[in-house]
Structure 1
Amino acid sequence: MSFETITLAIADQVATLTLNRPDRLNAFTSKMHEELRAALEQIRAPGTARCLVITGAGRGFCAGADLSDRQPSNDGGAPDLGLSLEQNYNPLILSLRGLEMPLVAAVNGPCAGAGMSLALACDIVIAAKSASFLQAFCNIGLVPDAGSTYFLPRLAGRARAAGLALLGEKISAETALDWGLIWKVVDDAALMAEAGAVAKKLANGPTKGLALIRRALDQSWSNDLATQLDVERDAQRIAGRTQDFAEGVAAFLQKRPARFQGR
């Protein structure tokens, strides 16, 4: 399937989804959301991929929403931004978090607004040294969305989340790393190689077990200890019955690398 605003490449069980509007710093439009939904349906198909990498074309990751793409309301008044979230951004974030595979964001430049939300929705965020992160919403009188008010305080703590959201100041990749928002910072030229190596390791890993890890970590944010211990018990019960667990034990006993099949 061909796309206009994104590209999708799948090789060796790694899906690489590239936001492809470099002239607009890959800002979201209704068309892009439509194509992202189609791409995620393709990625979700059984046997298609075991890891997803998200990046941006050109000099940026994603500048957030394209403000020129706004449509007036039916009565000619201000656009209903809540409807845009309900129809596009919220389903996108939920769809990504619902994938049964790890998500890697390769942030190659400016990462702002809903673009930053998209990156934070991924499991592992690797940023180029030239990357920057910006909660731009307050600068135009809006509220952080697409999951930012959920991810920010959990990753960076309330004080830093409040500073980012209320002041709208840009931070560097190194600061984002220091604040616990991202996993790693690398030289610009090494970004895609590093992201590719991480994605390859994840795609060759025990996919069902990795999906259970993602789910348990997500659930831990709202559970008390006793409830989370039950989550771990239930997840371990499922993981212990997978072929990959049997292979992992066999490889350990035989002192050889495990050959996981994602089953």
Structure 2
Amino acid sequence: MRVGVDIRTDGLARVTLCRGDAGNAIDLDMARGLLDAAQVCAHESVRAVLLTGEGRSFCVGGDLREFGALSGEALERHLMAVTDALHDALRTFATIDAPMVAAVQGAVAGAGIGLAAAADVTLAADDASFTTAYTGVGYSPDAGVSWSLPRLIGPKRALDLLLTNRRVPAVEAAALGLVTRVTTPDRLAYEALRTAETLRRGPTAAFGATRRLVAAGLSADLGPHLDSEARALAGTAVSGEGREGVAAFLGKRDPGFTGASHRP
């Protein structure tokens, strides 16, 4: 099994990359496993997703040993199959209301950066390092890296990393905006789980609306985006979670959000 999925009864989904002995390199089976995991998260009552990788490294990118065994049209077909599955997984994770937390350690390269960037909150151990790696082997980016990096750190900095493949330590990655915050390796799992638990207890539908608004706002004109905000606010306000949130605030108590994740 390349990717493990465990959905707790309280709505927390744990998605684990399970090729620790290979640096969680993404081969065709793992790409398809990620798509299966995303589809499970989209169709279950998931309120938050925690993405982790087994072993010393979160994800070293694509499996170059697998790719290097092929050539010509066979390689083209294989890479299209890998990216089709991987990109469908990323699209699916982006459509659900449940927010995603990623915990990364060790080497984070190539598509591993794409997975880390896809999370809403990305925690990094201070031993983590980030390398785009693509052009170092003559490849161009996948896994949304050419889309997410410019949005997270700006086009000039993104091109610096994509063209030079320089290694970025965790502290610099946080300063650039590639990761949310840095912690020690021994606290990474705890901090990531604590963050995911906090989000799991939150208003899932409002989280989903917020995720979509932020993503759309990066390319939308102000006027239409204000209209989108108004529609989203009205929809979340009349939802069960919206009513509960206001009632809890007025009643000076903690809210009890219970809504399920959006199902595409």
Question: TM-score interval w.r.t. the shorter chain?
Answer: over 0.9
Which segment is superposed worse, 88-97 or 17-26?
A: 88-97
State whether residues 138 and 168 of structure 1, in contact with CA within 8 Å, keep that contact through their aligned partners in structure 2.
yes
1:196 to 1:78, Cα distance in 2 relative to 1, 3 A: closer
TM-score (norm 2): 0.93
Which residues in structure 2 correspond to 1:223-262 (within 5 Å)?
223-262=220-259
Distance in 2 between residues matched to 1:14 and 1:220, nearest whole Å: 28
In the alignment, does 2:188 pair up with 1:191? yes
For 2:42, which of 36, 44, 47 is the aligned residue? 44
> 2:128 corresponds to which residue?
131
2:23 maps to: 25
Name the counterpart of 1:66: 63
Instruction: Report the CA distance between 1:204 and its aligned residue.
Output: 0.6
Sequence identity (%) = 35
CA contact (8 A) 2:83 2:143 kept: no
Does the CA-based 8 Å contact 1:6-1:32 persist in structure 2? yes
AA matched with 1:24: A
Partner of 1:143: 140
Alpha-carbon distance between aligned partners in 2 of 1:260 and 1:5, rounded to the nearest angstrom: 33
Change (3 A) 1:76 1:149: closer
Tell me how far 1:252 sits from its aligned partner.
Answer: 0.7
CA contact (8 A) 1:54 1:106 kept: yes
| 8 Å Cα contact 2:130-2:170 kept in structure 1 | yes
Whichever residue aligns with residue 41 of structure 1, its letter is Q
Deviation at 1:72, TM superposition (A): 3.6
| Larger displacement relative to structure 2 (62-71 or 188-197) | 62-71
State the distance in 2 between where 1:88 and 1:163 align: 28
The aligned residue for residue 95 of structure 2 is 98
Give the alignment partner of residue 107 of structure 1, picking from 95, 104, 108.
104
Where do 1:174-189 residues align within 5 Å? 174-189=171-186
Quote the Cα distance in structure 1 between the aligned partners of 2:33 and 2:150: 30
Match of 1:35 in 2: 33
CA distance in 2, matches of 1:96, 1:212: 14
Q: Of the two structures, which has the highest relative contact order with CA contacts closer than 8 Å and spacing of 6 or more?
A: 2
Q: Which moved more, 1:50-59 or 1:30-39?
A: 30-39
Q: 1:251 to 1:146 in 2, by over 3 A?
A: same
Q: Distance in 1 between matches of 2:226 and 2:152?
A: 21
Q: How many residues align?
A: 258
Q: Which runs of 5+ in 2 are unaligned?
A: none
Alpha-carbon distance in structure 1 between the residues aligned to 2:248 and 2:73: 65
Aligned residue in 2 for 1:5: 2
Question: How many Å apart are 1:36 and its aligned residue?
Answer: 1.9
Indicate the RMSD between aligned Cα atoms, in angstroms. 1.7
Whether contact under 8 Å (2:28, 2:82) holds in the other structure is: no
The one-letter code sitting in structure 1 at the alignment partner of 2:50 is: V
The alpha-carbon distance between structure 1 residues 18 and 186, as it changes in their structure 2 partners (threshold 3 A), is same
Q: CA deviation at 1:139?
A: 0.4
Distance (whole Å) between structure 1 residues aligned to residue 73 and residue 238 of structure 2 = 58
Contact 2:31 / 2:82 at 8 angstroms: preserved in 1? no
Secondary structure of the residue aligned to 2:76 is coil
Report which of the two has the higher share of helix: 2
The runs of at least 4 consecutive aligned structure 1 residues that moved more than 6 Å come to: none
CA contact (8 A) 2:23 2:55 kept: yes
CA shift in 2, pair 1:244/1:64, >3 Å: same
